[in-house]
Chain A
Amino acid sequence: MNAIQAALKSRPAAAFDVERIRADFPILQLKIDGKPLVYLDNAASSQMPQPVIDRLVRYQTTQHANIHRAVHTLSETATCEYEAARSKLQHFINAREEREVIFTSGTTDAINLVMHGYGRKFIKAGDEIILTTLEHHSNIVPWQMLAEETGAKIRVVPINDAGELLLDEYEKLFNARTKFVGVVHVSNALGSINPVKHMIAFAHAHGVPVLVDGAQAVPHMQVDVQDLDCDFYAFSGHKLCGPTGIGILYGRAALLEKMQPFKGGGDMILSVTFEKTIYNTIPYKFEAGTPPIAAAIGLGAAVDYLSAIGMDAIAAHELELLNYATEQMNRMPGVRIIGTARDKASVISFAVDGVHPHDIGTLLNQEGIAVRTGHHCAQPVMQRFCVPATSRASFAFYNSIAEVDALIDGIRTVQKVFT
């Protein structure tokens, strides 16, 4: 039994009032061509509740100035609020210290920071980087760029037909040249939840640091970076009911201190002369220039909102949606779910016989249903399942059983059009 299933068992389903939660999200009241919006593209980006919108408005109307600079009141207020947001994020993922939480522009930026700051300093020609077939392009391309630059090699952990990582193969990839592991916590394309804690422990036994791409995990489950014992953990604000343009890199302080800065500029320095620049301490060493202050504060409000509902309650409700949708879709002739891992987050990639995903997407949109169609920035996953693209429904805690029914009806309509 995984953590989500355990959480579901331990609490009564009725306690989760999805209608009350839906009332917090103004966008869910929209109609698309006269049909109620059924928003099932949460793995791409989640919607924002009113308290987060209000927080952004309050910041812009009463608190905005640049941070870490002036002595005037507004600058002090903005700085305090920005650092308070860092503290909220620290507690949300249970980091040891605030300085281990770096504000980035998103998961991609966070991974690039590690590639430049750690990879370019410590990974050399002939060294090996282990990635997995399930990675999003954002945890593949930066490492390929590094490999091209340094002459390092990339090794890839394969998956089985269910979309689960082959742990035996993972363990066999380790050797004296292995210098880094990058692994996605939850697959954005298939929903597979990877056993990252076990994988981290194995890597550490070989003295190898691990970066976890948590973009799809943090919105769906309680993540504890100390419990995982990961070295780096990256995620995005906009998948977490927060604004776009903000993300987090958690890094172990000892590693962050050894790393070189990614971007140079203001705020990341202690002193600058043309002869020598002394870098600031972490986390500021990695936050060059004026950061997205409002977005950071908005993300702080988003994790407050999520924490008030409770990540365990969220995980339990989403598992209910996932199980119900899976059951319904398994009963439909001509519909195939791609990705059937035992441990899954609330993501369903599917194919409908004889219908291209783009046609599914357009026809579902006609019913007001928003799904993602395409390769989901995970082309190696598509290649593994020999499909150019899939349709993907991804559920958030504000989705309802009635919306799953709307999806199922929508797929039936698609099938009718194409018979």
Chain B
Amino acid sequence: MADYNALYQEVILDHNKKPRNFGIVSPASHHADGHNPLCGDHISVTLNLAGDSVDAIAFQGESCAICKASASMMTVAVKGKTRADAETLIQEFLAMATGKLDLDSPNHIGRLAVFAGVRDLPTRVKCAILPWHTLHAAFNSVASTSTEAEEDPMHATIGNA
């Protein structure tokens, strides 16, 4: 059964109200726009890689609380990480949101586990993962991404969620 209360918990509501790293990094070495055509939500992610590490990252856009909090916590989580570590975290987050990650096995999810509840809300999974898709697209210099795009490299893993 869906644990809705766990989803709208304090930490998510706080990041929605006071998003961290909200804005743009300029100039940015990488950027991407993410769009969920089903609900009109959009997120842009700008970042600067110093060597192989995320030196600065910011996001902005219009979205629901789940998406905004996910983006905010994502920027906090990947700042200072290497690109490879950030990509690992992206994969783990996507797996968690779609119910494919065993949270008891070793992982890097940490505080992001507050989003585990979306796996029981298929219509909200895309809200949580849009920022992570967009970050992935930014790393790969894809100018824009979408939760519906066929060429989206992540599309297959989220299926019809």
Q: Is B62 an interface residue (CB 8 A)?
A: yes
Do residues B40 and A355 form an inter-chain contact, with CB atoms below 8 A? no
Binds B, one of A173-181, A217-225, A358-366: A358-366
Closest to B4 in A: A366
Q: Is A380 an interface residue (CB 8 A)?
A: no
Cα of A271 to Cα of B154 in the assembled complex, Å: 52
Contact among A358, A365, A379 with B64 in the assembled complex (CB-CB below 8 Å): A358
A-chain residues with CB within 8 Å of residue B123 when the two chains form the complex: 362
Do residues B7 and A362 form an inter-chain contact, with CB atoms below 8 A? yes
Contact among A379, A388, A418 with B13 in the assembled complex (CB-CB below 8 Å): A418
Do residues B39 and A362 form an inter-chain contact, with CB atoms below 8 A? no
Known: A374-B38, A375-B39. A388 touches B8 (CB 8 A): no
Cα of A357 to Cα of B62 in the assembled complex, Å: 12
Contact among B1, B4, B39 with A358 in the assembled complex (CB-CB below 8 Å): B39
Q: Is A402 an interface residue (CB 8 A)?
A: no
Do residues A359 and B65 form an inter-chain contact, with CB atoms below 8 A? yes
Closest to A418 in B: B13
Do residues A388 and B65 form an inter-chain contact, with CB atoms below 8 A? no
Chain B's nearest CB lies how many Å from the CB of A44?
13
Closest to A379 in B: B40
Contact among A33, A362, A379 with B1 in the assembled complex (CB-CB below 8 Å): A33
Q: Is A417 an interface residue (CB 8 A)?
A: yes
Do residues B66 and A358 form an inter-chain contact, with CB atoms below 8 A? yes
Contact among A356, A363, A375 with B4 in the assembled complex (CB-CB below 8 Å): A363
Q: Is A189 an interface residue (CB 8 A)?
A: no
Do residues A362 and B4 form an inter-chain contact, with CB atoms below 8 A? yes
| Chain B, 101-139, CB within 8 A of any chain A CB | 121, 123-124, 127
Chain B's nearest CB lies how many Å from the CB of A288?
30
Do residues A388 and B1 form an inter-chain contact, with CB atoms below 8 A? no
Closest to B118 in A: A362
Do residues B124 and A362 form an inter-chain contact, with CB atoms below 8 A? yes
Do residues A388 and B41 form an inter-chain contact, with CB atoms below 8 A? yes
Q: Is B2 an interface residue (CB 8 A)?
A: yes
| Chain A, 339-379, CB within 8 A of any chain B CB | 355-359, 362-363, 365-366, 373-375, 379
Contact among B2, B41, B65 with A418 in the assembled complex (CB-CB below 8 Å): B65
Q: Is B44 an interface residue (CB 8 A)?
A: no
Cα of A366 to Cα of B121 in the assembled complex, Å: 11
Q: Is A111 an interface residue (CB 8 A)?
A: no
Known: A33-B1, A362-B7, A388-B39. A356 touches B64 (CB 8 A): yes
Chain A's nearest CB lies how many Å from the CB of B101?
22
Q: Is B72 an interface residue (CB 8 A)?
A: no
Q: Is B145 an interface residue (CB 8 A)?
A: no
Chain A's nearest CB lies how many Å from the CB of B117?
10
Q: Is A389 an interface residue (CB 8 A)?
A: yes
Chain A's nearest CB lies how many Å from the CB of B126?
10
Q: Is B70 an interface residue (CB 8 A)?
A: no
Do residues B40 and A375 form an inter-chain contact, with CB atoms below 8 A? yes
Q: Could you list which residues of chain B lie within 8 angstroms of chain A, going by C-beta atoms?
A: 1-2, 4-5, 7-8, 13, 38-41, 62-66, 121, 123-124, 127
What are 6 contact pairs spanning A and B, CB under 8 A? Answer: A357-B64, A366-B5, A374-B39, A374-B40, A388-B39, A418-B65
Q: Could you list which residues of chain A lie within 8 angstroms of chain B, going by C-beta atoms?
A: 33, 355-359, 362-363, 365-366, 373-375, 379, 382, 388-389, 417-418
The 3 closest A-B pairs by CB, nearest first: A388-B40, A356-B64, A358-B64
Q: Beyond A374-B40, A418-B13: 14 further Cβ-contacts under 8 Å?
A: A33-B1, A356-B63, A356-B64, A358-B124, A358-B127, A359-B64, A359-B66, A362-B4, A362-B123, A362-B124, A374-B39, A389-B40, A417-B8, A418-B65
